[in-house]
Amino acid sequence: MAVLRLGDEAPNFDAQTTEGEINFHNWLGDNWGILFSHPADYTPVCTTELGTVAKYTEEFNKRNVKVAALSVDGVESHHGWIKDINETQHTTVNFPIIADEDRKVSELYDMIHPNADSQLTVRSVFVIGPDKKIKLTITYPASTGRNFDELLRVIDSLQLTAYHKVATPANWNHGEDCVIVPSVTNEEIPNLFPKGHKEIKPYLRMTPQPNLN
């Protein structure tokens, strides 16, 4: 089984979901995407995660991000679970949950790690760009819930650095100063970064976030 790496094309697939059948690439369209897996339906940590994602709908929409969840259970089970999620998390799940009973998608994305569990998916996260390339992967153990504030932060960084010649430093959040990438010469800085910059070391040059007014 091939391991997916950053920059690889996200494998396409057709699948049944709680919102009908989808072709993954067509469903993504020109959007960014998050595909994340869950060990099984009716599991406690996953219930809180899916509820959190539903509550973050506006934040994902602002960033042009579509979200799809996956578990190895079927659509009927998913629908029953959604009722529990909506009730216990005080929200409304409004994104598709993929049914992967035959493990087809799980295997495409290497979501089953036999040393953790031979049948159930680990908590995989894939962030996919509009070019259908994988921009980020994170794998959590089944016992640890994901931090969706961190995923929003990472997407802010990915979207910024995709279009501007900057990188984001440790613990960076939207609105904070960025690092000018080493390939930019000092002579190019005034045109690329008219807000100015601060040189801490020749290789460490900071500038205000360039895509903010």
Q: DSSP secondary structure string, 28-61?
A: HTTSEEEEEE-S-TT-HHHHHHHHHHHHTHHHHH
Which residue is associated with the tokens 């045109």? 191
Q: What b/e readout covers 185-201, taking b as 16+ CB neighbours within 10 angstroms?
A: eeeebeeebeeebeeee
Reply yes or no on whether the pLDDT at 129 is more than 80.
yes
Q: For residue 112, what pLDDT is reported? A: 66
Reply yes or no on whether the pLDDT at 119 is more than 60.
no
The model's pLDDT over 18-75, given as tens digits with 9 standing for 90+, comes to 999 999 999 999 999 999 988 888 989 999 999 999 999 999 999 999 999 998 889 9
Give the Å distances, CA to CA, from 99 to 2, 20, 38: 22, 10, 11
Q: For residue 121, what pLDDT is reported? A: 54
Reply yes or no on whether the pLDDT at 97 is more than 80.
yes
pLDDT band at 172 (very low <50, low <70, confident <90, very high): very high
Domains of the chain: 14-144 (3.40.30.10), 164-207 (3.30.1020.10)
The model's pLDDT over 151-165, given as tens digits with 9 standing for 90+, comes to 999 999 999 999 999
The model's pLDDT over 139-155, given as tens digits with 9 standing for 90+, comes to 888 788 899 999 999 99
Active site residue 178: no
Reply yes or no on whether the pLDDT at 199 is more than 90.
yes
pLDDT band at 101 (very low <50, low <70, confident <90, very high): confident
**123 HSE (CA, 13 A, CB side):** 15
Q: For residue 107, what pLDDT is reported? A: 85
**Which of 34, 35, 46, 72 is an active site residue?**
46
